[in-house]
Structure 1
Amino acid sequence: MPVLSQALPDNRPPAESHAFNAFRGSLIGIAEALPGISGGTVALIIGVFERLIGAASQLAAAVRALLTGQGRGRTVSETRRVDWRMIVPLAIGMVLGLLLSARLLAPLVSEHTGHAYALFFGLVLASLWVPYSGSGQRWTAAHYALALAFAVLAFWLTSLSVAASADNPLIVTGAGAIAVTALILPGLSGSFLLLALGMYEPTVDALNDRDIAYVATFGLGMLVGLAVAVKSLRWLLHHYHHMTLVVLTGVMAGALRALWPWQGDEPDRVLYAPNEAVPERLGLIVLGFLVVAGVLLVAHRRQHPRRSRGRHARVPTRRW
């Protein structure tokens, strides 16, 4: 797969390289703040997905060595393997893009919740194509039944919002650990997972209010997730790739409950039939769907430039 960095001359000055990586990181950060637009998909489009996942794997190994007491030497050795020249500016750009996007999205979500959820619903609905088609294998009746079972489970779980416990450090840490798993698979949005848990608005508010305690606790959860959840998900994708994507498809479909544009406020989250602003919200659903469909089309053409009309777009998480 061609990457944008290869299009730059090899003798480019370091400042230009850092600025370019920071810009690419800002695009990922902006995408991560939008439920339904996966930062992994954007990383795939701009040509840093494989390097980013490789760096995440090395960081996970370093964090795991530190947490399990494998020794300072092992931790330092794993840390030195990380491509810091790419990761540092990329991370800075991601943080800046995330902060900017959160600042712009916070008023939209809080003041126009139904319209925002309609847009997010369309974004995630289109994203279901990624895990559904990602393995390139034909689904059987058993696969559909398994996906349906996990969809029902996810539908029920997303009715149990934990937003009322957003001040609980364990809940915040868990939310960070869950959200970071979105790094591993294009199509899975960390912000969508937070919305499904009811933790999206508390997290965005904490970023905008510079709530250091919340952000630090959330960051700790991301480190734990990086060391445990990401590694586990990579193992599942390597050994049970198709079944993992079947389950993921069901979970994402069931969790769409959290984004239904006509629902009660926290904490009841009762679902209603479309009863207000129906044309506007339906239009936003279609808009969100088309945005993600366009992003996925670009990603597919970059990954398969000679057969962009193929039926199934394979997700580059099959081989590790």
Structure 2
Amino acid sequence: MGAADLVPGVSGGTIAFVSGIYDRLINGIKSFDFGSLRLLLRGRFRELFARIPVLFFCALGLGLLTAIFSLSRVLTGLMQTHPVQLWAFFFGLVLGSILLLMKETWRWRAADWTAFIVAAAVTYWLVGHDVVQTPPTPIFLFLAGAIAICAMILPGISGSYLLVIMGKYQQVLEAVNHRDFASLAIFVSGIAVGILTFVRVVSWLLRTWRHVTLVALTGIMAGALRTVWPWKEVVSTRLNSKGELVPLLQVNILPSNAGDIGLALLLALLGAGVVLLLSRLSPDHRDTPPKSA
């Protein structure tokens, strides 16, 4: 998940989904509620730890931080020197996830196909939308945080990519670089409200209409393939913290080098193989519906 979140356009939620921890992640986040806050304020830590899956989040957090700190420079370098090959690997990873989920939810009816097509079409349109210039006001920064974190929860959609579309990526980046803690507090508040609200919606959908929800999530990943297409052309750039120009917005193009196609295909197959390996290593991949907290 940490490695996936380092690549713009790739969602860590996809990895959580195919590795079989998606339900546990949703329910774990859902456990952070007012009841947990009351236990914390009263110092009843034993009851708090029984309510919140602390070991799960510690293991997940350790894995995320390990990937971020160990792979950050590697993936950044590969993005600059071998972008087609890196995107091809993640394209295969997402495509393999889609095929795996279609196999596991194979009993598709007309309603399921409708949910898949609608979810895929909306996601395809959304991730290809032009950048929208929104006012640099606190309310829009708050909403951007809430929307971005909701996207990160869904497999296939990158929250950072939505920040680019909403015209807030640069603003958030500048707030981090300039230590603008007031703006960061507003943004983080939006994240907190968004995640605590949206996980309840996702949990309820998985509990009530699990099959059609899984089909719709598969459609979201299918539509999001647009963001991980290997061949891209940079249409706008930004300055990173080191003063270097890096891509901000890109458009998909057709491949022009036959050699690139062959290597990209091999790496895409490797990405799909990683998904199958993750699935086989996860004994509880076919999770039971989440229980209410």
Q: Same fold (TM over 0.5)?
A: yes
Matches within 5 A, 1:167-246: 169-170=141-142, 172-182=144-154, 188-189=155-156, 192-194=157-159, 197=162, 199=164, 206=173, 213=180, 219-246=188-215
1:150 and 2:119 matched: yes
DSSP-derived class of the 1:265 partner: strand
Deviation string, structure 1 residues 94-132 (Cα, Å, up to 9, x no partner): 234224333322233345444432222222111113442
1:283 matched residue in structure 2 = 263
Deviation of 1:58 after TM superposition, in Å, equals 1.1
Q: Percent identity?
A: 26
Query: Is residue 77 of structure 2 the alignment partner of residue 107 of structure 1?
Result: yes
Cα deviation digits, residues 149-170 of structure 1 (max 9, x gap): 3322222211114487797624
The verdict on how the C-alpha distance between 1:110 and 1:206 changes in structure 2, with shifts beyond 3 A counting, is: farther
Match of 1:273 in 2: 254
2:233 is aligned with 1:264: yes
TM-score, normalised to structure 1's length? 0.63
CA distance in 1, matches of 2:129, 2:92: 22
Q: 2 CA distance for matches of 1:30 and 1:227?
A: 24
Q: Is the 8 A contact 1:115 1:281 kept in 2?
A: no
Q: Where in structure 2 are there 5+ consecutive unaligned residues?
A: 237-248
Aligned to 2:31: 58
2:105 maps to 1:124: no
Asked if structure 1 preserves the Cα contact closer than 8 Å seen for 2:207 and 2:290, the reply is yes
Q: Of the candidates 237, 243, 255, which is equivalent to residue 224 of structure 2?
A: 255
The 3-state SS of whatever aligns with 1:264 is: strand
Cα distance in structure 1, aligned partners of 2:263 and 2:178: 35
TM-score by length of 2: 0.68
Larger RCO (CA within 8 A; separation ≥ 6) = 2
Aligned length: 263
Structure 1: where are the runs of 5+ without partners?
1-27, 67-71, 183-187, 305-313
| Alpha carbons 1:172, 1:221 under 8 Å: kept | yes
Q: How much has 1:316 moved relative to structure 2?
A: 1.3
Partner of residue 21, structure 1: none
- One-letter amino acid of the structure 2 residue matched with residue 255 of structure 1: A
Q: Assess, with a 3 A threshold, how the Cα gap between structure 1 residues 74 and 154 changes in structure 2: closer, same or farther.
A: same
After superposition, the Cα gap between the structure-2 partners of 1:132 and 1:293, relative to the gap in structure 1 and judged at 3 Å, is: same
How far, CA to CA, are the matches of 1:257 and 1:217 in structure 2? 31
Whole-Å separation in 1 of the counterparts to 2:123 and 2:191: 22
Closer, same or farther in 2 for the Cα pair 1:163/1:123, shift >3 Å?
farther
